[in-house]
Amino acid sequence: MNPPVLLVERTGPVVVATLNRPDKGNALNTAMVEAIGDLVDQIDASRAGDDSARALVITGAGQKAFSAGADVRDLDGIDATTARRQMRRGQAVFDALEALPVAVIAAVNGFALGGGLELAMAADIRIASATAKLGQPEINLGNIPGWGGTQRLPRLVGVGKATELILTGELLTAHDALAIGLVNHVSDDALKTALDFADRIAQRNPVAVRAAKQAIHLGLAAGPAVGLVVEADGVAACCETEAQRAAVRAFLDRKK
């Protein structure tokens, strides 16, 4: 029996998902993309419960790779219709991951290439190990990023640098990625640092976390006019929660 391609564990409010194809560089095949999609659906469906997850950490099995990218064997000899279907499915899964109403943190513990980097970019925060390498090398296989790289990379690092990385296939060290804003932090223990962030955010008002993500993403997608409306709606929703009211009272009591 083959091992599961995605290992899922939960500690308190934090879910840890581990890409589990270490002998293949944790390459993203169809089964793994579907497993990620199923997990995202489960977390999203359970968000209203008292025991709902508050954060998701994604990492890769082994010491060498977060994910070396899409499994190239899935692209060997396929026609345009199949390729388009595969890309649209991966895009849908990564979009759903990005839209999760909880914090999503990528612990980039090694190579994050092609689809692997696209997966990491769908997270809210990226923590890279000091030895990680990141890039979009699809151009070296006569292709382009297909799971959101042409859209998310420019938003993170700017159009000019993103275009350079996509057209050259250049790989970045973790510290170079940090310098251009592709990752948030570089750590000797990416998973531990990611879990620390997840634990911290999991203690925050979940309505505020969800509202902040919605305002950020909708503002980027539709412009600041829309984003500001969503932001105001988010503040209104937070003010209806006991978590916000208790925090305000505690703050005023400290001031007294």
Residues classed as catalytic: 118, 138
d(CA 22, CA 66): 9
Which residues contact residue 223 at a Cβ distance below 8 angstroms, ignoring those fewer than 6 apart? none
Q: How far is CA 171 from each of CA 135, 164, 227, rounded to the nearest angstrom?
A: 5, 11, 33
Strand partners of residue 165: none
Which residues contact residue 227 at a Cβ distance below 8 angstroms, ignoring those fewer than 6 apart? 215, 216, 218, 219, 220
